[in-house]
Structures are given as structure tokens and as C-alpha cells.
Structure 1
Amino acid sequence: MKSTRQKNVIYECICHAAMTVALLWLTVCPAKAATRPTAASIDSLLHCIDTAIEHSEQYVHKKMDRINYLKSEIEQAETLSAKYELTYQIYVEYLPFINDSAIVYLERCSEIAQQMGDDSKKGSCLSLIALSCSNAGMYIESEAILKDINPSSLHDIDLGLYYYAYGHLSGELAYYGKFKDMRKKYTESSMENFMLAQQNLPHSHKYYNQCREMMAQNQGDFKQSLAINNEWIKQAKAGSTEYALVSFYRYLDYKALGDSIQAMYWLGESVLSDIRNAVMDQGSLWEMANLLMTKGDIDRSYRYICFTSDCADRFGSRQRLSRISPLLSHIAKQYKTNEEKSNRSLCYTIVAISLLSVLLLAALVYVYHKRNQLAMTRDQLAKSNEQLKDTNTQLSSLNSQLALLNLQLSEANRVKDEYVGRFLRLCSVYIDKLEDMRKKVIKRVKNKQFNELAELTRSADFTGKETDELYENFDNAFLQLFPSFVYEFNALLKPENRVMPPDNKSLNTIIRIFALIRLGITDSSKIAEFLHYSVNTIYNYRANIKNGALCDRTEFEDRVRQIGMPNAKNT
């Protein structure tokens, strides 16, 4: 069987394949695909997210491998232009991963651009540094960097990045601001800068589409925002970090339009893409944890928010951590409430178990009393049997007809054989039933079927005790019927192969096997069932004893069956 880890990997692959098909459909016809998500597909998506979180370190390792490869390539770069491109690619890798490292490599890009004498590229790098600062909540530093940039020295795309960084900073200040007038001022500034960024950025740039959609959302025109998103999603590569961003904005559109199923689905798409790309700025997963908490899925919400907190700590985002803390506190309160409910339920369960234990104790006392009564009745019957046996002996001694006496003795022998055989079979069945009963009781206890616990009689050691008692009764009964069996049995064997019991009142395993054969039980499987050995063990015992017989080994068991009969020939 496959391990749980292998099953998770297979399940993730299946989910990934299903998502890939869905993404291809979205690329061809996003408007039609918008109606496809269902509650079942969202549940499947959540399982994919759970599996992706379990394997998140693998995605982090892949990210680090790419970064280390690019770092090794820088050492081999021969021109400033090639060195700039490689350094910039490292920044792109660090951008959603570790913010401080992203800033460090942007600073190196800025230094290389200065060495190249390209003021526009240097300004572009400074704009992106300011953008990273505002992403991490360092608003004062971001504003100071942007003020030091001369917009007139920037080309179109670099100027667009400058305005986008300013617009993002203003938007963050508006979102986290405390005063209404200030939030309005920053919102207006953000819209103006996004408009300027849109005018300077190429249509294929992700910030261009992001500006368009944010402006439509800020104006409350979510149908227009969704139409922009339909165009944008065609440009994003399925499963990429840009696709995660597009999906998040699509979630915001559907959330505003009141379509909770579509909103949940696209938020899940964004979360899954972020995790698989080792994105540490987990805004989508924070939003998902918040939604799951409102839906009552506290356990999953707690796992997601803890994972988000670890990611935010690695990324270095102060404002993300400030948003996570209240949610963690709320989840902790929910856990406490659930724990109190569980404790109350546990108390009720303990009371119920206690009552059932009392009833069980009463039942055990009742059964013990009945067993004592049964033992007394058995003793009385034994005495009556002894008296009857004496009477039969006296009557038999008065019978002067030897032929009739022999007939009665022969009949008595047959009855005794039949009685012993039936007695042994019943005892064996009784032991198996006791074992089966014990297993059933344990099963019911595990399943908390407390109403059936009144049928409990004995613990697991009862079977062993009853088995020993059964063998003791068997030995006594057999030796009473055939007192010379051991002697006559050994007379059939060579001296070195003879078997002696531990004492005169009991038999050992080998003698019991041939005692059962004497009673007519010759099937090894039945002998093994009675003595609780394997069939192979019984067969080996029988073979070893027959190999040590004085007579022909094929006649040995026939001779054993003649022990105790008149005129039996045992030599």
C-alpha cells in the first residue's frame, strides 16, 4: 500500500492536472468558465491547498535553487548590461519571497545602472525600491526615495513605474489611514498617479492592467473591472505569480458582485498559485483564512493563518503581521469556546460511563451469584451420579448371566466414548465462543456502544483459565476411563521414544493427541482446534511418535485405538 505522503503527492498531481485543464478553458473562454465552479470543486481546491502547504518547503527549495543559479551566472557575466539583467532577475525572484533581499538586489541594479550612465534605469530601480518599502509598511522610507527621483530623467516605462510606485504608496496610506479626510486625499492622489502610470506603461505590463482594474474598482464599476480582468487573465501564464494576482482581483470583483461561489473559487486559485510559487507575501491566504473562519471551519482557518504568519515573517511585511494578529486572537477565542463545549461533553460522557459501570458491576455480581448456584447444583448432581453408579454396580453384581454383563459393559464403553467426545467438542466450542465474545465486547467499547456493555462477562485471561480447566477435566475424565492408557501407550514405543506425563493425574500434549485418537478423533485439524496448536504441529507430533513405534508405523494408531478393549494386542 502507498504511504500517506505518496497519496498526498498523487492527489496534488491530480488536482494540478484538473486545474491546468480549467485554466486552459479560462484562456479560451473566461466568460463561460466563470459559471463552472461549484461547491464540490471548491472543496477539491481546498484539499489541493492543504497538500500544497504540506509540501511548501519543496517549493521554497526550488525558488532558492533558481536564485542560486542566477547568482552563479552573475559571476560569469562579462558586461555591465548582462550583469544588470541577471541582478534584476534575482530581484524579480526575491520580490514576492524575501523583501529585504529584493531591496538589496534593486540597490545593486541601481549601482550598475549608474555605472552604465543610464539615469532612467537607475530611477526605475529606485521606484521599485520605494514600491518594496511600501509593500513592507515602510511608508516614510518609500516617500523619501520617491522624492529624490527626478521624473524628467525617466523614459516612458520607467516613468510609468515611478507613478505606479507613488500610486501604490498613496493607496496603502489611504487603506491604513485613520482619518477620513486624509484617506480621501490619499485616495485621490493614488488615482491620479495610477492614471499617469497607465498612460506610460505598455498594455502588456502587469501594472498597466492592475492600474486599470484598481481604478474601475475604486469607482465602484465592478462589471467593467471584471471585463478588464477577462482581458488581463489571457496575458497571465497559468500558475504564475501574475496569475495569482489576476485571480485575487477576480475574487474582489465577484465578491463585490455578490457571487460567493465564484469569489471563493478564484481566491483559492490565487492562494494555490502563491504557495506553489513560494510567495511569502500571502495576502490571498490571509483572506481565505478569514472567510473560512466566518464559515465555521476553525481548524483549517487556524492552519492557514499560522502558515500566513510564518510567510509574512519570512517576507518581512510589518503591515501583514499587524492584520494577522487580530485574526489569530479571534481564532484562539473560537478554540477556547469549542474546548469548553468539548469539556462539557466529556463530563456528560464520564457520568454516563460511571452509571454504565455501576450497572455492569451489578450484572457481574448477579452472574457470580448464579454461577455459585450452578456449582452447588453441579455438586448435587455429581453426588446423585455417584449414588446411581453404586446402585448400578450392585445391580450388575447380582446379574449372573455373563453374556448379559459383557453386553452391558460393551454398551457402557460406547456410551462413555460418545460422552467424552461430545464433552470435549462442547468445551472447545465454549472456549471459542468466549474468545469471540471478548472480541465483540472490545469492539463495542471502541465504538462506544455502551448499551451493549451489560453482556460483558470476563476479561481476556478468562479464556486461558478455562482452557487449563478444560485440559484438567479432560485428563481426569480420560484417566478414569482408561487408567492404564499411559502404560499401554508406552508399551507400543521403543524405550528411547517413550513419553511420560508430568504426574499420574495429568497428561502432556503428545499423550493428549493420542488420547483423542483413542476416542475416535483422528482428524489433525480437529485435534489442533481442541489443543490450540497449528495443524502442522499436530502432524509433526504424530509423525515423530509413529517413527518410534515398535510395530509398523502404519499400524500404530490402530493399536492405540485398541487400548482398553478386551483381548487387545498391544505388543
Structure 2
Amino acid sequence: MIRRLLLFQLLFFIATEGISQAGNDSLIAVLVKEIGRKEVYENRKQEMIEKLTRALTDINQLSDAAQFALYNDLYHAYKTFIYDSAFKYSQKLIETSYRLNDKTKIGYARIKLGFILISSGMFKETFDSLKVVEVRYLPDSSRVDYYRLLARAYSDLMVYNKDAFYREHYKQLDSNYMDSALQGCKPGSYFHYYLLAVKNLHEGKHREVIHTVEELMQRHTLTHPQLAMNYYDLGAAYLALDEPDKTIRYTVLSSLSDIRASTKETAAMYTLARLLYKKGDIEHAYIFINQALDDAEFYGARQRKVEIGSILPLIAAARLNSVEGQRRIWLTYSAGLTVLAALVVIFSVIIFKQLKKLKAAEAVIIKANANLQEINQRLLEADKIKEEYIGYYFSNNSEYINKIESFKKNIDQKIQSKKFEDIRFLVNGINPSHEREELYVNFDKIFLKLFPDFVSIFNSYFKPEDRIVPKETQLLNTELRIFALIRLGIHDPEKIARILGYSLNTIYAYKNRVKSKSVVPNDQFEQKIMGIKTVSLLKS
């Protein structure tokens, strides 16, 4: 009976989320929508935190035990939300536990500090906090937290340290501490299943991970943070089993749960961006890697920002190339519509002349009908061509389809009303230069978000009188943009010329002119450009 009730609760949760049978595309669309609503979830979190912080006004009137409880609530509110605040209240927990002279609470507080330190990639500080914990004074729940935190620390070190010798050592320590944590768990409890799944994942037992998590979800009703962690483990297991669709599905579900829980210390969004980038879904990869960067900056996760900084330039450059290619396709289609409009005008003139000859003779009428049939056939073919163009571009570029439909509608209206001069006016109204400028502005914003010190560092390679300063209306000018593309890894002058809309000779001329004024030797200049650090590395 209990198992049936828990299964019903699980199915109810999935049904209310509206995602139980949805495909990956639908799930990704839901995630994009939820990212747009993240402030709603953040506001709920902030309201809950504000209720707790109001109690700090009378903190001195509370007993030490009551203060410890309040600081503990604030710590848990912040621990995956804002690193600095979580660190602050973990310190308050430690101070209060020492005032209480309670070794159980001292150990508890040290474990909580260790959690946020490892979440920020501070390995040494984590071990320093945990080594003073006297395990014999810990209750079972804190002892489980202590051992699983040590297991996580060594697991993270194993990923971070590429040395084969130390990896094996860390792997063994991870396994030993996870076994110790499992011994303290009640069989059938949430943590028993969760830690068993993590242990199996670390040991490469991926089918057992899936079985364990599925059984966990059947037996327990999970919170959003718990769902996020378990979905992420499922995604990792399916990744190792080379099942990409299920990997993406569960990583999306993990990201959804993180958004709804306002969890900022998370790897799911970053992992999803990497998966979609490898799959070729650049647009969504770009959305999710920027969201991952926003979360890392919000929380203050230094190690996570470094990870994101390693792939963000690649995704940004791929998106820039994709947008440029789409722009060229759209311009080609516009040119095709122009030719089509000219043909329609010609056919209309022919029809008009034939109609004037209808009164001349029956023979002329018969001939005119034949001509009209031929013209109608050509118009049908022209309409079919239009339908093929519209269908093709609708499937490849939703961003431009509304513009194209509006353009076509205006053309048809002008033809029907015989306002042929207006057709030329509409065609001349297409402004490729504006589209290119908008592309450059978006590129400049993205690039300077990633490399905020690029211009100042770039100009440090020149004498003051030779430094390159963009106009007030610009973020970057052509010279800076060329070397920005080089910094993103686009070294081929032909590719740079195509992206910026210049000839190959013009690109060479710009590069040579800039290098000739630099105090850096020409053969070392691009190496210096590649050495400019991203914002994540500058702050770490």
C-alpha cells in the first residue's frame, strides 16, 4: 500500500510538470521558458531569506542555542544560492558552537563549512575544516554527512588532478569514505539509495546507478534539489553508456529542477551546454552556457567559472559563424524574391496586352487564351518555388521567417493593386548593412563580457600615440574586431574576411598596419593576443 502511494506521488509530480512523455526538443523549450521565469523562483527564495534575516534584529536577545538554530537555517538557505553569505553563516555556526562548548555542534558546523568550501573548489580549506572534526562526538546523520563530504572532496580531486598515480589514490579514498557513509545510513532511506547510486557511478557500475535511482524515486517523494541531483546522476550514467538522447533528457530535467529550486551551485546547465555544443545545437548551447555563467557568478563558484570559460569562447564563435551564414541565406532569398517580383510584373504586362486584343478577332482570343494558359502554368510554377523557399527557410531560420512573410505579403498586395513602383521601394528598403551592424554589436557585447580587459591590454602593446580607441558609439572597431576573432581561435584570414565582409587584402592590410605600430615583435604579436585572459581566469 505504501509503495503504491509513493508511486502515485511520483506519477503525479511528473504529470504536473507536463514533461513525462515529452521529447528532448519539448523539454529544452520548457527549460528555455523556465530560464525566462527564473526571477520568479529567485524572488520566492529571497522572500524566505528575508523572513529569516528579520530575526537577526533581535539576535542578542536569543540564547546561544536559538542563535545556532537561526544561523543554521540561514546557512541552508544560502548554501547553494550565494557562497559569500553561506560562508558567513557557517562561520557564525562555528563561533556559536564554540560558545556552547558543544563538540557535536562544533563538528556539525565544520562539516557545513566544508561543504561550501568544496563547492567553490577550495580543496585545501575543505580538508583543513574537516580534519579538526572529532567523529566520535557526531550523531549518525552528521557522521554520514562527514564521510560523504570527504568522499566528494576526493572524487572532485580525482577529476581535477590528471596524474594517474594520484587519481588511483583519490579513487580509493573516495570509495572508502563512501562505504563509511553508507554504513551510517538506514537501509531503504533516501540517503542510502542516493549514496549507493553515487558510489556505483564512481565505480563505473552504470546500470546499477539507473536501477538504484529508479527504485529511489519509486520509494520516496523528492524535493527539487534532490530531483536535480538524481537526474544528474542518471544523465551521467547514460552518458557513460553512450545513450545521448537519454543523457540530454535527464540533464535537462536536472537543470529544470535547479532553476525551480534557485540552485546556483550546479553543474547541470554547464554540462547540458557542452552536450548540445557537441551535438551541433549551437543556439541552445549558447543560451545555456550563458545561464551557467550567470549562475556561477551569482553564487561565486570560482572553479565553475574557469570550467565555463574553457568552452564559452568556442560556443560564442560557433554561434557568430552560424548567424553570419543565416544572414547570407536570407539575403539570397531576398534576391530571389526580387527576381520573382520582376517576373510577375512582366507577366502582368503581357496579360494586359493580350486582354486588349480580345476584341480584335476570335483567332486572337484563342491565341490569347493559349498564352494565358502558358502564363498561368508559369505562375503556378513560380508559386511552387515560393512555397519551397518559404518551407526551406522556415525550417532553418525561425528568426527571419516573420520578416520574410511580411515582405511577401507586401509584395502580393502591391501586385494586386498594381503599385509596381512600390515593389521596388520595398526591395530597396532591405538594409543588409543594418543587419551586419547589429551582428557586430552583439558580437562586441558577447566578446567584451568574456574579455572585459581586452581593449586596455591590447593597447598596452602600443605607444600612447598609436593606441586604438573605438568611437563613443562603438564597443570595438574593425582593427579590434579582427584581433578579437583571432583571440577566439579564428586565425584563417579568409574566414575573418567573410565574417566581417571585407576582402582578403583588406584584412591583411589592417593586420600589417596594426602590427607595424606595436612595440611587440610582429612574429610574437598574435601569441600575445592569445595570452589575454578571460574574465573567469582574471578573477580566480
Structure 1 residue aligned with 2:305:
321
> Structure 2 residue aligned with 1:65, among 31, 40, 47?
47
- The answer to whether the Cα contact below 8 Å between 2:7 and 2:219 also exists between their aligned partners in 1 is no
Question: Bigger CA drift: 54-63 or 259-268?
Answer: 259-268
- The answer to whether the Cα contact below 8 Å between 2:6 and 2:219 also exists between their aligned partners in 1 is no
The whole-number CA distance in structure 1 between the counterparts of 2:166 and 2:38 is 40
1:200 is aligned to 2:161: no
Within-5 A mapping of 1:376-455? 446-447=407-408
Secondary structure of the structure 1 residue equivalent to 2:264: coil
Structure 2 residue aligned with 1:96:
80
Give the structure-1-normalised TM-score. 0.56
> Structure 2 residue aligned with 1:124, among 94, 108, 112?
108
- The answer to whether the Cα contact below 8 Å between 1:27 and 1:233 also exists between their aligned partners in 2 is yes
1:254 is aligned to 2:238: yes
Change (3 A) 1:460 1:73: same
Within-5 A mapping of 1:6-21? none
Report the alpha carbon displacement of residue 443 of structure 1 after superposing the two structures with TM.
10
- The answer to whether the Cα contact below 8 Å between 1:363 and 1:454 also exists between their aligned partners in 2 is no
The whole-number CA distance in structure 1 between the counterparts of 2:335 and 2:312 is 35
Change (3 A) 1:81 1:227: farther
Structure 1 residue aligned with 2:28:
46
Change (3 A) 1:167 1:448: same
The whole-number CA distance in structure 2 between the counterparts of 1:112 and 1:204 is 34
Structure 1 residue aligned with 2:168:
184
- The answer to whether the Cα contact below 8 Å between 2:276 and 2:284 also exists between their aligned partners in 1 is yes
The whole-number CA distance in structure 2 between the counterparts of 1:111 and 1:23 is 41
The whole-number CA distance in structure 1 between the counterparts of 2:197 and 2:73 is 26
Secondary structure of the structure 2 residue equivalent to 1:189: helix
The whole-number CA distance in structure 2 between the counterparts of 1:360 and 1:41 is 43
Structure 2 residue aligned with 1:167:
151
Change (3 A) 1:338 1:70: same
What amino acid maps onto 1:44 in structure 2?
S
What amino acid maps onto 1:217 in structure 2?
L
Residue identity (%):
22
Report the alpha carbon displacement of residue 272 of structure 1 after superposing the two structures with TM.
1.4
- The answer to whether the Cα contact below 8 Å between 1:229 and 1:246 also exists between their aligned partners in 2 is yes
1:149 is aligned to 2:133: yes
- The answer to whether the Cα contact below 8 Å between 1:91 and 1:105 also exists between their aligned partners in 2 is yes
Q: How many residues align?
A: 369
Report the alpha carbon displacement of residue 266 of structure 1 after superposing the two structures with TM.
2.8
Report the alpha carbon displacement of residue 450 of structure 1 after superposing the two structures with TM.
7.8
Structure 2 residue aligned with 1:86:
70
The whole-number CA distance in structure 2 between the counterparts of 1:90 and 1:193 is 28
Structure 2 residue aligned with 1:107:
91
The whole-number CA distance in structure 2 between the counterparts of 1:266 and 1:233 is 14
Report the alpha carbon displacement of residue 343 of structure 1 after superposing the two structures with TM.
3.9
Report the alpha carbon displacement of residue 199 of structure 1 after superposing the two structures with TM.
2.1
**Which runs of 5 or more structure 1 residues have no equivalent in the other structure?**
1-21, 31-35, 375-441, 463-571
Give the structure-2-normalised TM-score. 0.59
- Which structure would you say has the larger Rg? 1
Report the alpha carbon displacement of residue 123 of structure 1 after superposing the two structures with TM.
1.6
- The answer to whether the Cα contact below 8 Å between 1:164 and 1:207 also exists between their aligned partners in 2 is no
Structure 1 residue aligned with 2:317:
333
Q: Which has the higher contact order (CA 8 A, sep 6+)?
A: 2
Report the alpha carbon displacement of residue 90 of structure 1 after superposing the two structures with TM.
1.3
Change (3 A) 1:24 1:268: farther
Change (3 A) 1:71 1:209: farther
- The answer to whether the Cα contact below 8 Å between 1:356 and 1:450 also exists between their aligned partners in 2 is no
The whole-number CA distance in structure 2 between the counterparts of 1:226 and 1:367 is 71
Report the alpha carbon displacement of residue 209 of structure 1 after superposing the two structures with TM.
3.8
The whole-number CA distance in structure 1 between the counterparts of 2:220 and 2:311 is 31
Change (3 A) 1:237 1:315: farther
**Which runs of 5 or more structure 2 residues have no equivalent in the other structure?**
14-18, 358-402, 424-540
- The answer to whether the Cα contact below 8 Å between 2:141 and 2:184 also exists between their aligned partners in 1 is yes
Change (3 A) 1:309 1:361: same
1:226 is aligned to 2:171: no
- The answer to whether the Cα contact below 8 Å between 2:83 and 2:299 also exists between their aligned partners in 1 is yes
The whole-number CA distance in structure 1 between the counterparts of 2:351 and 2:318 is 49
The whole-number CA distance in structure 2 between the counterparts of 1:324 and 1:167 is 24
**1:63-89 CA distances to partner (integer Å, 9 max, x unpaired)?**
011111122235367332232222112
Structure 1 residue aligned with 2:273:
289
